[in-house]
Chains A and B, each alone.
Chain A
């Protein structure tokens, strides 16, 4: 027996970037939500005040980039406390982090670094997700990263690793479609097979973004600095067919263009979501 799930009228949001704040405040474009990088709002800056004003009109998705859940060391309690304080002020609709690490030995490297996918690292990562969910009082969504290197001793495929994390910890998955495309191209795996390995019920959000090709090393680089590429739109359509309607984010972090360009991308995503508004659910 199959049944259908209708899509909400608006499911697409954009990343809030400082050059757009005034225009969004003035024009209040129709968007399902705004997403922010948590670490950009942990200091008492005027940007935080502006965000709190926008929060009255828009749901906010809080996207952490520095919890370093994959670090061999324990979680940073002071950072976790600041994260929790921000959650209490923002009351976000979603809270997400990454399948990655970014800090070790007291140094924060400001990147989402890969770690080997093994039984031991799975135990460690799950423990950190559970500790973070407990401390924050929220379910996390964990995002699949884009990767440029793989370890020789990393026997668990990434899609199976992140699925195991979701099953063990109860966290959700933030499916970054652009990251799947980038990693699949860089390592030569099938992106559709990756999507099909993810558990439908765990998918809580989708990310869409641009990338560029580094010709010197013949790799795709996930830089969130351009329009979404056609193969990523196609993979998004495949994701919608598999997962049904999911809150979707247009990410744009470098070479940030006029707000209208992001809204244009959001409209395209919304149209695609509308086409796939009914999904067969077994």
Chain B
């Protein structure tokens, strides 16, 4: 390699360049990166547009794959617009795209153009719970004999953990009915004033299953410190 190649890019310069390209790709100002790009007979902004288009279309597709019913409820064009606005402000952190969209429901709750669909954020929360359940490994259930073998004086110190895919979800809208109806080719009439729903969601083999819980069971199950991503744990008290 010739020795004449200059040390023209130190790391702070490269970091700065990559941050500028990131902003341009995510729909920000392209002016701050254009000067670093060789024209080669084409406007550098057009060159940037190819990368921007790829990022928005593939990340938008990833969101659509995770939130298919949200997409159907608002139609593809509106979904693409909402996804575009979302990923400008909330680009993925994880490099596994099935993990992208954790706060999409919260974004939709504040997204004024869809405020006439007040159930939309909860449909997104439900689809996110389905997505989580579909992407975590099922734990092997504890056999009753194993529990029976624990000496009585140690029983208070046994720590039990629920299936990692398990989550509980409540909405003041009939989200499960809305979701199921929109998986059909022709959506049957839905009475969205028919009341809320309380759901338990979990992975079942290769599928994801959910069921409605009565208010008492739901309240009892939910009393444990559950969250969509972190299963409840009971720990022995000191």
Q: A105–B7 contact, CB under 8 A?
A: no
Residues on the A chain within 8 Å of B40, using CB: 150, 186-188
Task: Given A44-B136, A149-B37, A164-B1, decide whether A113 and B51 contact each other with a Cβ distance below 8 A.
Answer: yes
Task: Given A104-B15, A160-B1, decide whether A121 and B9 contact each other with a Cβ distance below 8 A.
Answer: yes
Q: A124–B14 contact, CB under 8 A?
A: yes
A94-153: which residues lie under 8 A (CB-CB) from chain B? 101-111, 113, 115-116, 118-121, 124, 148-153
Surface stretch bound by A, among B52-60, B154-162, B174-182, B221-229: B52-60
Picked from B10, B36, B59, the residue with its CB within 8 Å of the CB of A110 is: B59
CB of A242 to closest CB in B, whole Å:
21
Task: Given A116-B17, A155-B6, decide whether A42 and B50 contact each other with a Cβ distance below 8 A.
Answer: no
Q: Mark A39-52, 1 if CB is under 8 A from B, else 0.
A: 11011111001000
Query: Does any Cβ of A come within 8 Å of B102's Cβ?
Result: no
Query: Does any Cβ of B come within 8 Å of A156's Cβ?
Result: yes
Task: Given A39-B97, A66-B95, A73-B15, decide whether A118 and B8 contact each other with a Cβ distance below 8 A.
Answer: yes
Q: A149–B8 contact, CB under 8 A?
A: no
Size of A's binding interface in residues, CB under 8 A: 54
Query: Does any Cβ of A come within 8 Å of B231's Cβ?
Result: no
Q: In the docked arrangement, what's the CA distance between A110 and B134, Å?
A: 22
- Max count, chain B CB within 10 A of own CB: residue among A44, A68, A102: A44
Query: Does any Cβ of B come within 8 Å of A221's Cβ?
Result: yes
Residues on the B chain within 8 Å of A42, using CB: 96
Q: B96–A71 contact, CB under 8 A?
A: no
Query: Does any Cβ of B come within 8 Å of A258's Cβ?
Result: no
Picked from B12, B38, B62, B134, the residue with its CB within 8 Å of the CB of A151 is: B38
Task: Given A73-B15, A110-B59, A219-B42, decide whether A49 and B95 contact each other with a Cβ distance below 8 A.
Answer: no
Query: Does any Cβ of B come within 8 Å of A5's Cβ?
Result: no
Picked from B46, B49, B91, B134, the residue with its CB within 8 Å of the CB of A107 is: B91
Q: B55–A104 contact, CB under 8 A?
A: no
- Max count, chain B CB within 10 A of own CB: residue among A79, A111, A116, A149: A149
CB of B104 to closest CB in A, whole Å:
16
User: Which chain B residue lies CB-closest to A216?
Assistant: B46
Q: Mark B19-30, 1 if CB is under 8 A from A, else 0.
A: 101100110000
Picked from A115, A155, A160, the residue with its CB within 8 Å of the CB of B18 is: A115
Residues on the B chain within 8 Å of A186, using CB: 40
Picked from B14, B19, B206, the residue with its CB within 8 Å of the CB of A115 is: B14
Q: B5–A119 contact, CB under 8 A?
A: yes
Residues of B within 8 A of A (CB): 1, 5-12, 14-15, 17-19, 21-22, 25-26, 35-38, 40, 42, 44, 46-51, 54-55, 58-59, 62, 91-99, 134-137, 206
Interchain residue pairs with CB less than 8 A apart (18): A43-B96, A43-B98, A102-B95, A108-B93, A108-B95, A110-B55, A111-B58, A113-B25, A116-B9, A120-B7, A120-B9, A149-B44, A149-B48, A150-B38, A156-B5, A186-B40, A217-B46, A218-B42
Residues of A within 8 A of B (CB): 39-40, 42-46, 49, 66, 68, 71-73, 76, 79, 82, 101-111, 113, 115-116, 118-121, 124, 148-156, 160, 164, 186-188, 214, 217-219, 221
Give the 8 A-B CB pairs with smallest separation, nearest first: A66-B95, A44-B137, A72-B15, A43-B135, A107-B91, A149-B47, A46-B206, A72-B14
